[in-house]
Amino acid sequence: MDQDSKKQAVADAALAYLRPKLESDTIVGIGTGSTANRFIDGLAGLKGSIGGTVASSEASAERLRAHGIPVYDLNSVDRVAFYVDGADEANAQLQLIKGGGGALTREKIVAAAADEFLCIADDSKLVRTLGEFPLPVEVIPMARGYVARELVRLGGDPVYREGVVTDNGNIILDVYRFPLAQPLAMEETLNNLTGLVCSGLFARRPADRLFLAGDDGVRELE
Ligand code: 5RP
């Protein structure tokens, strides 16, 4: 199976898992990226069976609306039953690195608000230890130099993502060779860095279920 077919397979698996659980008032949180896009396209076939969605990026909101799927502001819904999103890396504890697409802050907010977080990915994303993929962090523009120096002090090698402004008006630093053997502790350290809005490390709020596509089909980890 090529990578595109794997993305399609996990999107289909997540839809099959959700279908019997959806009710007319169910709000589904929607992630960002090429795998999430497959899920959005599939969800279009179920749009009459749900209350609507909350999107983690302007790009996903636009795609949802193009399918005629209602998109709500997170503040206007009482409950997000499910959040479905891809990942850049996942470990066996379902802790993730996310933010390759730059939407990490809104992704983390919707994931935090959701009752159940379903991660959908191809098997190239499963790693023993997080950190081979550079960790994206969203930073207030004026804090870029300060935060970069702090990240170097923590053992990383931050690189400014040129030309990217997030949906929140901030910049992204991609941190290479970051020591992530203790993801929970490092997420907490990053959360305490002034000027750093959010890291793409999802350790405190890992996925609840990971649909992973390989050559032999889709398996589920929880
Ligand atoms: C976007 C993300 C994506 O989930 C992550 O980059 C995976 O993307 P793709 O499904 O295209 O491989 O975190 O900010």
Report pLDDT digits (tens) over 132-142: 999 999 999 99
33 lines ligand 1 (CB under 6 A): yes
ipTM higher than threshold 0.95? yes
pLDDT at 189 over 90: yes
105 lines ligand 1 (CB under 6 A): no
Going by pLDDT thresholds of 50, 70 and 90, the confidence category of residue 208 is very high
User: Which atom of ligand 1 approaches the CA of 125 most closely?
Assistant: 12
Report the pLDDT averaged over residues 197-222. Answer: 97
Contacts of 181 (CB under 8 A, 6+ apart): 129, 131
Question: What dihedral do alpha carbons 132, 137, 141, 143 form, nearest 10°?
Answer: -90
For ligand 1, atom 10, name the residue with the nearest CA: 35
Report CA(151)–ligand 1 centroid distance (Å).
23
Q: Is 98 annotated as a binding residue?
A: yes
134 lines ligand 1 (CB under 6 A): no
Distance CA 127, CA 13 (A): 21
Report CA(105)–ligand 1 centroid distance (Å).
13
107 carries an active-site annotation: yes
Distance CA 147, CA 140 (A): 9
pLDDT score recorded for residue 1: 84
Contacts of 216 (CB under 8 A, 6+ apart): none
Averaged pLDDT of the chain: 97
For ligand 1, atom 5, name the residue with the nearest CA: 87
Distance CA 36, CA 113 (A): 18
- Per-residue pLDDT reduced to its tens digit, 25-55: 999 999 999 999 999 999 999 999 999 999 9
